[in-house]
Amino acid sequence: ELLEEQNYLLELQDKLAKHLDIQSCSIVPGNFDKDYKILSTMAERTTEIINHLLGEGEQIIAVMGGTTLNEVANHMDANLGYNRELLFVPARGGLGDDAMIEANVIAQRMAQQTGGQSHGLYAPEHVHKKIYEELLKEPEIKKTLEIVESASLILYSIGTPIEMAKRRGLEEDTLKLLKEKEAVAEAFGEFINKNGEVIYKLSNIGLQSSSLKKIEHIVTVAGGKRKANAINAYLKTAPSHTWLITDEAAANEILNGG
């Protein structure tokens, strides 16, 4: 019976990777929406995959924020740092998330857990275009952005739009716009519709989703049936060498549903 379950999941992984046109999917059994423990299983699987993908020596890992990545941080340990000098950097400046799940803090925690280093990116997001251009000239910010762009692995999650808009305290008008334009997903501060088109962009400082494809390893982790549409839409635009870690419920919903 165990073998049957394993075969079923392997088949599902293949189907999902083909459907999303990406390199690889890893699916953990269950539904995160109904069982909080699934988050921990996905996080553990994510750490294993990162360990498998990364080479030895100096490795730069760019990370985003969020509750999912916070859990991935909980599962990282010295094993990941073994034979490597890890440097964790936030892929973007603050997105107005709670401090605990901010990319800066997550990068710092990952460094602590693995015996690596981290580098902060402290830049306000909502600034006037002129100030933004000036900020980009600041040596400290420039240096961090160069490090981010040279990362060998990027780790991010995908969110549902209204939840993310609310978490970041966006105005009622913006919420209305997101509904009107039928936003289905958010990642990297970009809100997209079901065709993968960016309909609203939140932030500027940090990795642009357009430079994602230059990064050698791309790992995304998101699960629960409620995130199915978001995952499906976002991965339509994702580079084909992306690895997805998700759960069975999201996988089935993507393949059979919407």
Binding site for ligand F6P (CB under 6 A): 64-68, 95, 97, 156-159, 164, 186-188
- Residue 82 CB: number of other CB atoms within 10 A? 11
**Cβ burial 84-94 (10 Å sphere, 16+ → b, else e):** bebbbbbbbbb
Q: Which is nearer to ligand F6P, 14 or 197 (CB)?
A: 197
Phi (first) and psi of residue 221, to 5 degrees: -130, 125
The span from the first CA to the last CA of the chain, in angstroms, equals 30
CB of 177 to ligand F6P, least distance (A): 17
**Shortest separation between residue 139's beta carbon and ligand F6P, angstroms:** 26
Phi–psi pair at 185, nearest 5 degrees:
-155, 160
CB of 169 to ligand F6P, least distance (A): 13
Strand partners, 154: 62, 218
Task: For residue 22, give every residue at least 6 positions away whose Cβ sits within 8 Å of its Cβ, in sequence order, or none.
Answer: 235, 238, 240, 241, 242, 243, 244
DSSP secondary structure code for residue 92 in this structure:
B
Pick the closer one to ligand F6P by CB: 188 or 243.
188
By beta-carbon proximity to ligand F6P, the closer residue of 65 and 93 is: 65
Q: Would you say 158 or 219 has its CB closer to ligand F6P?
A: 158
Please report, for residues 5, 6, 14, 99, the alpha-carbon distance to residue 1 in angstroms, rounded to integers and kept in the order given. 6, 9, 20, 44
The nearest distance, CB 239 to ligand F6P, in angstroms, is 17
Q: Which is nearer to ligand F6P, 12 or 95 (CB)?
A: 95
How near is the Cβ of 126 to ligand F6P at its closest, in Å? Answer: 15
Q: Which is nearer to ligand F6P, 22 or 188 (CB)?
A: 188
Smallest gap from Cβ 178 to ligand F6P, in A, equals 13
